[in-house]
Amino acid sequence: MAKPRIRKVVCITALALCALPICAQTPTYNQPYRPQVHFSPAENWTNDPNGLVYFQGEYHLFFQYNPFGDQWGHMSWGHAVSTDLLHWQELPVAIPEKDGIMIFTGSVVVDHENTTGFCAPKNDCLVAIYTGHSQTPQGTLQTQNIAFSLDNGRTWTRYRANPVLDLHLAGFRDPSVSWDPTARHWIMAVSLPKEHKVRFYSSPNLKEWTQLSDFGPAGDTDGDWECPDLLSIPSTNGKSSIWALKVGLNPGAPQGGSGEQYFLGNFDGKSFTQSSEPGSHGWTNYGKDDYCAISFNGLPKGQKPVLLGWMSNWQYASKLPTSPWRGQMSVPRRLSFAKDSTGLTLRQEPIIVPLRGRSIAISGSSLDISDKQQDEHPIRTPVEIRLRFEHPAAEVFGVKLYSDKQHWTEIGFDTSKKEFYIDRTRSGGQIIPDFPIRTTAPMTTDRPYDLTLIVDRSSLEAYAQDGTIAMTNLIYPSSPNFTIQIFPKDARTLNGTGRLWELKSIWEK
Ligand code: FRU
């Protein structure tokens, strides 16, 4: 007798809940090209990650989101949470567009000491600092604003005295805020896109801001500067640290469209100075599809910084052949820096190991698996591949991923051109003229010829030469099944270094 009653209650509750738009349908994550190890919203448009923060056991990923469609517009902050940086649960929109003010890119900090006074009666709470973008009779206006959450990011209250920073400018955006434990105040890095400058401010309470200094123009200035991020990065051996300033550039990046450069140097609490050592200017990603990456605030002490970006490019983001969503994030990467005979360099190590499933060794230049086994149980994306080549027997060597006989993506080292490259001109699913491309990064003979590849349903993330090169490209092969060829035939991987892992989908329960 009890059973039907329980069922009725469950049914009524479900009906009541499903009146809310968020649970109208259980999202499915199995459409063609749907990323299996990368976050994408169940539906609609996303671009930059926003407000990455760790707080009370949860990682928060806010993201530029259009709740009403799969094109850019009505920008609001979408929200997802994770306990391991890999499995994400999407939550209702955190901060929606309101009164004609769109919610552009920004940060979230943990206000540990209630410097804002927002957190009472608690000592700490989450505070978001974002750009408000609106059209006024005088034209476009971008200002910096704050909002706070007393329930771990689920609901947000805007500060009644917003904006907290208004220079009456059309281009003034993407605040990146962090706590300076020495000076005991907040530091903001914010972009003046057309001037190619990052401006620094300090504040005791996130409400009143004092201008400190400007960095730039410097490095590449062919496009707007967006999405700055200032962070301290430990050396690989953990014995020292260096400051990094990362800045998005759009359009005009070396591979076309949007790209991201970094500067290594010193931040003295007021201004950032680029180091004069070789390697102090580089690109966080040499592919076409990694933009506006930012790092997590509030990570537990001792953890290396974690960077996560938007896997797309403004050149064709609105045309990607996916439905009912458009846009996806990279996997998170732990950052460190190294100094070797080539100079200073940023290093990135993707967080992926917890998703590993069945694995197959790669020895010499082939997979340890018979043709019959391959036929019966074809390799399907998502996969991770790691290998290291012996000192090269050929000028050009690498890996080809075939989705059928006519279509493949090539990843390789060209020692005569001193280039690492990904060629997606024959990957299939070409969208627009800017899509087929061979992206390149300078390589050096002083670092190992190693490769880590993360191949998902519609993307390829490559890390080479000890993580000093990261290259991310979207690809749209006709099928998730693929075969691997290591080339040339006599290329050899170092004994015991080659392995392929099938990866478990982050959407499987
Ligand atoms: C970069 C960007 C940011 C802006 C946001 C708007 O991709 O243009 O500068 O805040 O996107 O969606």
Length of the chain: 509
Name the least confident of 29-38, 150-159, 238-247, 370-379: 370-379
- pLDDT > 70 fraction of the chain, expressed in percent and rounded: 95
Going by the DSSP 8-state scheme, the letter that residue 475 receives in this structure is: -
Q: pLDDT, tens digit, for every residue of 4-44?
A: 333 333 333 333 343 444 445 678 899 999 999 999 999 99
Active site residues: 48
What's the mean pLDDT when you consider all of the chain?
A: 93
Handedness of CA 314, 30, 35, 438 (dihedral sign): negative
- Tell me how many degrees the CA angle 279-49-308 measures, rounded to the nearest 5: 40
Q: What is the 3-state secondary structure (H, E, C) of 304-332?
A: CCEEEEECCCCCCHHHCCCCCEECCECCC
Q: What is the pLDDT of residue 70?
A: 98
Handedness of CA 138, 76, 331, 129 (dihedral sign): positive
Calpha distance 186→321 (Å, rounded): 41
Q: Phi/psi class of residue 476: alpha, beta or left (left: φ > 0; alpha: ψ in -120 to 50)?
A: beta
CA 104 – ligand 1 centroid, Å: 6
Choose one of 77, 105, 107, 140 to mutate for the ligand 1 pocket test, by most ligand atoms within 8 angstroms of C-beta. 105
- The pTM for the full model equals 0.94
Q: pLDDT, tens digit, for every residue of 41-73?
A: 999 999 999 999 999 999 999 999 999 999 999
Atom of ligand 1 nearest to the CA of 291: 7
pLDDT above 70 for 246: yes
pLDDT above 60 for 309: yes
Atom of ligand 1 nearest to the CA of 106: 10
Calpha distance 338→344 (Å, rounded): 6
pLDDT above 70 for 226: yes
CA 48 – ligand 1 centroid, Å: 7
The arrangement of strands across the sheet holding 343-350 comes to: 291-295, 306-310, 333-340, 343-350
Q: pLDDT, tens digit, for every residue of 407-423?
A: 999 999 999 999 999 99
The tokens for 456 are 């998902």
Choose one of 77, 103, 173, 329 to mutate for the ligand 1 pocket test, by most ligand atoms within 8 angstroms of C-beta. 173
Name the least confident of 118-132, 340-354, 487-501: 487-501
Atom of ligand 1 nearest to the CA of 226: 9
Handedness of CA 469, 388, 312, 144 (dihedral sign): negative
Name the least confident of 56-65, 327-336, 485-494: 485-494
pLDDT above 80 for 156: yes
* pLDDT, mean of residues 239-254: 97
Q: What is the pLDDT of residue 15?
A: 36
More confident residue, 490 or 353: 353
CA 306 – ligand 1 centroid, Å: 20
Calpha distance 202→271 (Å, rounded): 11
pLDDT above 50 for 2: no
Q: What is the pLDDT of residue 23?
A: 46
Pocket lined around ligand 1, Cβ cut-off 6 Å:
47-48, 64, 75, 104-105, 131, 173-174, 226-227, 292
Q: What is the pLDDT of residue 335?
A: 98
CA 38 – ligand 1 centroid, Å: 20
Q: What is the pLDDT of residue 5?
A: 36
- pLDDT > 90 fraction of the chain, expressed in percent and rounded: 85
Contact 477, 428 (CB under 8 A): yes
What are residue 10's phi and psi, to 5 degrees?
A: -60, -45
Nearest alpha carbon to residue 261 among 198, 315, 340: 198
Choose one of 50, 65, 77, 104 to mutate for the ligand 1 pocket test, by most ligand atoms within 8 angstroms of C-beta. 104
Contact 105, 79 (CB under 8 A): no
The tokens for 389 are 């080549």
Q: What is the pLDDT of residue 242?
A: 98
Q: What is the pLDDT of residue 25?
A: 63
Helix (H) or strand (E) holding 11: helix 2-17
pLDDT above 50 for 278: yes
Handedness of CA 287, 293, 299, 302 (dihedral sign): positive
The tokens for 154 are 């689920």
74: β partners: none
CA 189 – ligand 1 centroid, Å: 15
What are residue 354's phi and psi, to 5 degrees?
A: -60, -15
